[in-house]
Amino acid sequence: MFFKDIIGQQPLQQRIRSIIDSGKVPHALLFHGPEGVGKLPLALATAQYLCCTDRHDGDACGKCPSCMLFKNFTHPDIHFAFPISKSKEAGVESCADVIDLFKSNILSNPYISINEWMSICSQSKMGTIYTSEAEDIIRKFQFKPYCGGYKILIMWLPEKMQTPCANSLLKLVEEPAPNTLFLFVSNDIESVLGTIVSRCQPIEVPPIDNASLRNWAVGLNKFPTEEVDFLVKNSSGSVSFFNDSLSENNQNKIIFEYFQTFMRLAWSLDVEKIRDFLDEIQKESRETHILFFKNSQRLLRENFILKLNEPQLSYMSDAEMQFASKFSEFIHERNVVEMMEEFELAEAQVQQNVNVRIILFHLFFIFYKLLHKSRIVQ
């Protein structure tokens, strides 16, 4: 992994290069921050840059023997630890059993999320770094570096370590052999064992800036510009959230159609059309019903914000913005809070398996009154 391939994070890249170039490399670095902001790519690029024998232009050369071994993560002095779910049926008892699968996935997607990884390597959504993994790590780090440089452990998500595992590694992290480097990559530093954290130099990785995330997304050549802008705004500086937003985007378009229809029918209270609407939406899944009420809260909030004349605060697609140009006139300080609360309650009721038809029928009459509520107190 090269620094040049990381999305944004230029200040952190420069900081890491400066540390390595100074020759005063700490024995343990802890990259921490939100999921999908580039912590694992930074750790991978750090390892390659440190081991490269011909660094230039602020990056690894890509041609020296060490860099050639990094291409497929076959470098004998780079070791990985990551969450798995043990399964005798699947023959998975340790990281070693799925190491090739893990390497191939981070090669193709170094921004992989824990949910993506667990869905690939296991039927379970729960991942753990087991105590037995510590024994394997300690054994490997008893030996000197094979290539004569650094021996490096990249541990992805140390917060997933069982407590005995973390305690077993503590002495190794406290008193490492010369030319040993531990790179911990955490989504939740508060859940990492405190004694491990205290022995690392923390590096907080912030969300990716929107400009860098947008340039990356545009470079994929998969989406129209206006769709990219909408997805980036809703990604909170995270590649993982961008991908989640992308997978939800098509469904969100259907949800938005339901939102428009609901509001128009709530305004007119056309009983025949309401019956047709209820027949149609009742066929959708429970997850879609939940997403409808959740997205309806977002759209109400965005329509209210639109009235503040602050377009940079708007997180709506072009189609949503077009609808809001007229609909937002009916959303104001005298009805928006009550509308939001009604949708929030409806979402909770669906989660409790209340019939969505009954919920929506009740909401139509409430929203009829709220939409016709005057902005000015009479």
- Distance, in Å, from the CA atom of 89 to the CA atom of 84, rounded to the nearest integer, reads 14
Q: How far is CA 246 from CA 26, 100, 253, 256, in A?
A: 39, 28, 11, 15
The residues with which 185 forms a beta bridge, in sequence order, are 31, 156
- What are the structural domains of the chain? 3-206 (3.40.50.300), 222-371 (no CATH)
Give the phi and the psi of residue 243 in degrees, each rounded to 5.
-65, -35
What does the pLDDT read at residue 20?
Answer: 94
What does the pLDDT read at residue 106?
Answer: 93
Element (H, E) at 246: helix 239-268
- Distance, in Å, from the CA atom of 152 to the CA atom of 105, rounded to the nearest integer, reads 20
- Per-residue pLDDT in tens (0 to 9) along the chain, 378 residues: 999 999 999 999 999 999 999 989 999 999 999 999 999 999 999 999 999 999 989 999 999 999 999 988 999 999 999 999 887 776 778 899 999 999 999 999 999 999 889 988 876 668 899 999 999 999 999 888 888 689 999 999 999 999 999 999 999 998 888 889 999 999 999 999 999 999 999 999 999 999 999 999 888 877 777 778 878 877 889 998 888 776 666 677 788 899 999 999 999 999 999 999 999 999 998 888 988 998 899 899 889 988 777 666 667 777 888 899 899 989 998 899 999 999 999 999 998 889 999 999 999 999 999 999 876 554
Which residue reads 């800036």 in tokens?
209
- Distance, in Å, from the CA atom of 207 to the CA atom of 238, rounded to the nearest integer, reads 6
